[in-house]
């Protein structure tokens, strides 16, 4: 693990509580998750499944990703159009899943 940063154990605890193996759905223990990279705004963690040994990389941000838009030169975004609202309505009308699945799909 990288040098202990403030929040590292909280972040690993969050992964252990809320993320499972994408292959076999086995839960992770704290010892299965390590920080492989930490920058000023994001973390990359590697979680190794104790069941099937699949490694999964997880990116976490110190702030919501949309807060980074101004730093990406996207500080003025156009208003959402009626066509975009209609497109989302069509997508959501056929979407089956919970909020977690929705966020993973977009
Ligand atoms: Zn697994």
DSSP state of 95: -
Q: Which residue has the higher pLDDT, 77 or 54?
A: 54
**C-beta of residue 69 within 8 angstroms of C-beta of residue 77:** yes
Give the pLDDT band of residue 4 (cuts 50, 70, 90).
low
Any idea what the Cα angle at residue 8 is, between residues 7 and 9, rounded to 5°?
A: 95
Distance 73 CA to ligand 1 centre (A): 39
Residue range 42-60: mean pLDDT, rounded: 94
pLDDT at 51 over 60: yes
The sign of the torsion formed by the CA atoms of 87, 18, 14, 25 equals: negative
Distance 2 CA to ligand 1 centre (A): 24
Residue range 36-42: mean pLDDT, rounded: 86
Distance 51 CA to ligand 1 centre (A): 5
% pLDDT > 70, the chain: 93
Distance 18 CA to ligand 1 centre (A): 15
What is the reported pTM? 0.59
DSSP state of 6: T
Sheet holding 33-38, edge to edge: 33-38, 42-48, 55-61
Give the pLDDT band of residue 1 (cuts 50, 70, 90).
very low
Distance 14 CA to ligand 1 centre (A): 18
pLDDT of residue 9: 87
């Amino acid at each position: 693990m990288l040098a202990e940063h403030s929040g590292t154990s909280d972040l690993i605890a969050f992964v252990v509580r809320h993320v499972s193996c994408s292959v076999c759905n086995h839960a992770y223990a704290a010892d299965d998750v390590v920080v492989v990279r930490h920058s000023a705004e994001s973390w990359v963690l590697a979680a190794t499944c104790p069941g099937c040994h699949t490694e999964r990389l997880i990116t976490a941000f110190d702030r919501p990703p949309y807060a980074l838009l101004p730093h990406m030169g996207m500080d003025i975004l156009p208003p959402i159009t009626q066509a975009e609202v209609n497109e989302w309505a069509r997508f959501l009308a056929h979407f089956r899943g919970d909020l977690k699945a929705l966020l993973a799909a977009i």
